[in-house]
Structure 1
Amino acid sequence: MSELPLIVENLTFRYRSRHEPAIRNINLKVQPGQVVLIAGASGCGKTTLIRCINGLIPRSYKGELTGSIRIFGQDTQGLSLARISQMVGTVLQDPERQILGSRVINEVAFGLENLGLPREEILQRSQEALERLKIAHLRDRETFSLSGGEKQKVALAGVLAMRPGILLLDEPLASLDPASAQDALQMIRQLADEGMSVILIEHRVEDVLAIHPERVLFMSDGEIKFDGTAEQLADYVDYREVKLPAPMILNLAARAEPPSEPHWLPSGREGPREPLVEFQGVHFGYENGTEILHGVDLTIYRGDIIAVLGPNGAGKTTLIKHAIGLLKPKQGRVLIRGRDTRHMSVAEIASTLGYVFQSPSHMLFAPTVYEELAFGPRNLNHDPETLRKEVMDAIEIVNLRGYEQIPPLSMSFGQQKRVSIAAILSMRSRILVMDEPTAGQDYKNYISFMDSILQMPGFEAILFITHDVDVAIRYANRVLLVNDGQVVADGAPEEVLSDLERLEACRLVPTSLLRLNLEYLSATRRFLSAEALAHFSLA
């Protein structure tokens, strides 16, 4: 009888910088060909478990480790990191931390080169991985010019080229547009059906359930609290903590108290439509000469809550970076309250627009969470008493009380994302711009901080780029669809998201919540959360 791909027994680990274990008493056996989904709140120990399995703990992350891990019958304690990496492939949560090569083909070939394989085999395996992920057209692109979603696919291609027996995926869908996420999940299912064991950490639980994972684990406070089938999950977890399919939530929420109706941005709904940011015939291209934005005309008004949707590489982040002055148009102009951004410094713009980057590693640098959040207000010359209140309010909104003295770069990706959001909240900018704010976030946390942010009285407008159609349904009063460097649709969510053919052209996939809302729309006249729909249907 052959050895199981993975056996974890009585595993406990405490980071050197922490007092409490990050994971405790983990026991897990994984069969060949299984897809195992691990769900749970940000910071519950999921990523720590992955680091133990792939050998980064205790080799790169130091601390106190007890218990054992066996991969195909071999105890990892006696194996080198290089040997483990040949059996276990890992795709990290933040592709920025994984990509080393300057060009896509070099990045995909990197692991194979370290194995000393013949050049012909390296090129063949690399090309096969690129084609499998439908990104062969990116083969000769420079990696720094790729979108976040494209980088995620390249990182995955580099791992697949190694042909590991176990594949560990930490939030692989976080940066992918919905159609790309579906493609990735179908490929994961196919890999498992071919015999690979796949362990998948993902907050987008509804998406993963579509490929019928053999097992679902739910972690909380460093322990496995549930280990069973997808069908049993709804009976065990709180639908307010894990994002389940909308019909499941509809049934569960009907038995609970109705949610209170929030009032977003009360100051922005009265009076004339005051323009805050104007794009006038904006064209932009990077140094390689390829034009990214093609004649964009767009006005952001006071009171707007705008969701920006579209496929990977469509130009969404490039568009937003023009709004905050990090990029300047090659042709046309961008005005902030009537002033051309070409004549404004980034510091001037920052007092009006606060920007949360897609990757927290592009923002975080301070020794503690408190210092990270104090940096912006301090540079804007806020007085000490006001600064402290702004920092503590921001910490409360993103649910990080108790983490004030923790180094941000030692935290999980989801926690780092919340720190980066809080760093902008503490500056009290008038317009908030967020690039993928819910990436890496568990359902409960992102609902909590989005609810809080949108009820803060200081903001005049909010923009957020997202691949999560349900976030747009729940929070936006205006949706922009961006495709191939142009705004192809702009209007109320009920108008823009009702055109399913146009959504498909923008690589967006109708979710169960969208379909439910379309079913109820003639009665509700507006989009609602599944929890609100549950009580509307009873009325």
Structure 2
Amino acid sequence: MTKTNVFYLKDFSFQYPFSKQKIEINGELAIHHGECILLKGASGSGKSTLLMALKGLIPHLIHGKITGEILFHNKSIRAISAEESLKIGYLQQNPDSQLICHTVFDELAFGLENLSTPREKIIQLVTDISQKFAVSHLLERSVKSLSGGQKQIINLLAILLLEPEVLLLDEPTAFLDPDSAYKLVNLIKEHIADKVVVIIEHNYHYFQPLVNRVINIDINGNIHEEKLNDEDWNQSLPVINPLPFNLEHKTLLKIDNLNFNYDNSEILLEKINLDIGKGEIIGIIGKNGAGKSTLFKLICGIIPSKNQIIYNSQPVGKIAKKQLWNDISLLWQNPESHFIHNAVEMELNGNLELATELGLDKHLKNNPFCLSEGQKRRLSLGIILNKKPQLLLLDEPTFGQDLKNKQILGNILVKIANEGTSLLIISHDPDFLRSITKKTYQLVNKSLEPCII
């Protein structure tokens, strides 16, 4: 029996405005109902661009030079209507770029309201799916107050409520703790009967039970099918630094019985104690919404604290902000928060050696906002490395990185630690933390506890 194509692609290419390079995806690809496809390829190979083209965002909302052919049910993606595009659900890589409403309830209800769904049914559907994924307690929260992982979950639930025929998922687990990632996989599993699912994901193991086809985009832009063995599905990083960083411990930052809550809310952090020495790398793990990013904002003085956080023998609240932020740099979850120039080389102050180390030397003239998400993350790291801080706070540094680039990042971080820079790393990537840290803490029950990962 001949399968009917849901998507058909042939020799697609696209060049973003203000970009000097063209993304090329060569060959033919047919996608059918019932297929769950893992889309592989190096960072910057065009995976996310392809998903945006399958959704129709390229060329309808994102304009540029386009060649080749993409068909959705035998109709050019350039000609599909807004109504037809609703059949294609698309989870973007950056969760902040998809949120449009004030509260979580409004975010989940928004799509249904646009379909003129009766209010009573909207309330029931939102209640049911929020209970199923245990996010009922978030419904009245502002979306701005959510963690990156919570935002990603809400985005996916909003898509699933529309019951699309196609799910395009770009790094769905990037900001999720392992428990939430497996819950997300199970939720997707419940909704994919006879649908099309295309997933970009560097943590392959989460989706091994679902995927029935693997497509790779190689370094030349050619697409071909692959078979993965168990080792491929469960790829891991080698230990990058097996030796102690700081044999003679000299405390750089000390946190002593820190408590914190936002206005009119319950205690978020309680009796937090931490000591980080010069040249030490410490990992921090914890569930989405536990308060990890809030802790970083307290450490670098963005959120005021009392005298429980001591940097270089001084309370951070008594250090001039200019001096404090020269010494302590925060890598934000959203890499675009770091960009102020219109060219990569300007963001890096012309540091070609660092650009090469980060794999960005071929993109020096490109606008930072036109890079892939993985490249944006490496650029944002380069921006703060250029400042040569004493303490680096890294919030999800491996976001958007394949195994090769994770190892490159690990080598860079170990090198600067050995030169004396201290690092605190929030990550949902235990493999990465195992490869470069000697100590890891878990933020659980509002406190930091030593743990083994």
Class of the TM-score when normalised by the shorter of the 2 chains: over 0.9
TM-aligned CA deviation for residue 222 of structure 1: 6.1
Whether the 8 Å contact between 2:37 and 2:211 is mirrored in structure 1 is: yes
Distance 2:362 2:11 in 1: 28
The counterpart of 1:270, out of the listed 232, 240, 247, is 247
Say if 2:368 is the partner of 1:408. Answer: yes
Q: 1:350 aligns with which of 321, 325, 328?
A: 325
Q: CA deviation at 1:120?
A: 2.4
Moved more, 461-470 or 214-223: 214-223
Q: Give the equivalent residue in structure 2 for 1:215.
A: 213
2:16 paired residue number: 15
Q: Which residue of 2 aligns with 1:160?
A: 160
- Kept after mapping to 2: 8 A contact 1:129/1:160: no
Q: Kindly tell me: are residues 123 and 261 of structure 1, through their superposed partners in 2, closer, same or farther at Cα, counting changes over 3 Å? A: closer
Amino acid at match of 1:359: N
Aligned twin of 1:204: 203
* Residue number in structure 1 paired with 2:452: 497
- Larger relative helix fraction: 1
The equivalences for 1:78-89 within 5 A come to: 78-80=79-81, 82-89=82-89
Question: 1: CA distance between counterparts of 2:14 and 2:318?
Answer: 53
Aligned-partner residue type, residue 9 of structure 2: V
Runs of 4+, deviation exceeding 6 Å: none
Looking at structure 1, the residues matched to 27 and 164 of structure 2 have their Cα atoms a distance apart, in angstroms, of: 23
Answer yes or no: is the 8 Å Cα contact 1:429–1:459 preserved in 2.
no
Q: Distance in 2 between matches of 1:337 and 1:189?
A: 50
Quick one: structure 1 residues 55 and 325, their matched pair in 2 at CA, closer, same or farther if it must change by over 3 Å?
A: same
Distance 1:20 1:460 in 2: 35
Give the superposition deviation at 1:11: 2.4
Partner of 1:369: 344
CA contact (8 A) 2:202 2:401 kept: yes
Among 272, 282, 287, which residue is 1:296 paired with?
A: 272
Q: 1:58-97, aligned counterparts within 5 Å?
A: 58-80=59-81, 82-97=82-97
Deviation per residue, 1:158-180 (Å, 9 max, x gap): 11111100000000000000111
Counterpart of 1:303, as a letter, is G
Q: Which of 94-103 and 315-324 deviates more?
A: 315-324
Contact 1:54 1:85 in 2 (8 A): yes
Q: Is the 8 A contact 1:21 1:222 kept in 2?
A: no
288 and 414 in structure 1: CA distance in 2 versus 1, 3 angstrom threshold: farther
Are the structure 2 counterparts of residues 39 and 261 from structure 1 closer, same or farther at C-alpha, using a change threshold of 3 Å? closer
Note if 1:473 corresponds to 2:434: yes
Q: Deviations over 1:472-522 (max 9, x none)?
A: 2111011111113211x22xxxxx326xxxxxxxxxxxxxxxxxxxxxxxx
For residues 239-286 of structure 1, the C-alpha deviation after alignment (integer angstroms, 9 at most, x for no partner) is: xxxx6425xx79xxxxxxxx8975768xx5233x21111112211111
Distance verdict in 2 for CA 1:222–1:22, change over 3 Å = farther
Secondary structure of 2:256 counterpart = strand
In structure 2, how many angstroms separate the alpha carbons of the residues matched to 1:327 and 1:264? 35
Aligned match of 2:234 in 245, 250, 254? 245
Give the number of aligned pairs.
451
Structure 1, unaligned runs of 5 or more: 235-242, 251-258, 375-387, 491-495, 499-539
- For 1:392 and 1:38, locate their aligned partners in 2 and report how far apart those are by CA, in whole Å: 31
State the Cα distance separating 1:106 from its structure 2 match.
0.5
CA separation in 1, counterparts of 2:452 and 2:441?
Answer: 10
- Structure 2's unaligned 5+ residue stretches are none
Give distance in 1, aligned partners of 2:435 and 2:127.
41
Tell me which of 328, 331, 335 is aligned to 2:304: 328
- Give the equivalent residue in structure 2 for 1:464: 425
RMSD: 2.3
The corresponding residue for 1:309 is 285
Task: Report the Cα distance in structure 2 between the residues aligned to 1:223 and 1:128, rounded to whole angstroms.
Answer: 43
Indicate the residue corresponding to 1:35 in structure 2: 36
Larger mean CA deviation between 82-91 and 1-10 belongs to 1-10
Alignment correspondent of 1:431: 391
| Other-structure match for 2:446 | 485
The residue type equivalent to 1:307 in the other structure is: G
2:374 partner letter: G
Inter-CA distance 392–13: structure 2 relative to 1 (3 Å threshold)? closer
The CA distance in 2 between the partners of 1:16 and 1:99, in whole Å, is 24
Within a 5 Å distance, the mapping from 1:94-173 to structure 2 comes to 94-173=94-173
Q: Deviations over 1:184-224 (max 9, x none)?
A: 112222322x2221100011112222x24110111123624
Q: Distance in 2 between matches of 1:288 and 1:99?
A: 25
- Give, in whole Å, the separation in 1 of the partners of 2:197 and 2:5: 13
Task: After superposition, give the CA deviation of every residue in 1:269-322 in whole Å (9 maximum; x if it has no partner).
Answer: 233x21111112211111242321112122111232101111111111111222
What SS is found at the alignment partner of 2:158? helix
Q: 1:99 to 1:26 in 2, by over 3 A?
A: farther
Query: Which residue is equivalent to 1:392?
Result: 352
**SS where residue 213 of structure 1 aligns?**
coil
Q: What is the alpha-carbon distance in structure 2 between the residues aligned to residue 353 and residue 421 of structure 1?
A: 13
Distance 1:147 1:244 in 2: 28
Inter-partner Cα distance in structure 1 for 2:312 and 2:110? 48
What SS is found at the alignment partner of 2:180?
Answer: helix
Kept in 1: contact 2:27–2:223 (CA 8 A)? no
TM-score of the superposition, structure 1-length normalised? 0.79
Structure 2: how far apart are the matches of 1:140 and 1:415? 35
- Judge conservation of contact 1:308–1:481 (CA < 8 Å) in 2: yes
SS of corresponding position for 1:5: strand
Identity %: 28
SS in 2 for 1:181: helix
Alpha-carbon contact 1:76-1:84 (below 8 Å) kept: no
Q: Deviations over 1:85-139 (max 9, x none)?
A: 3110111000011111110011111122222332223333333332343322211
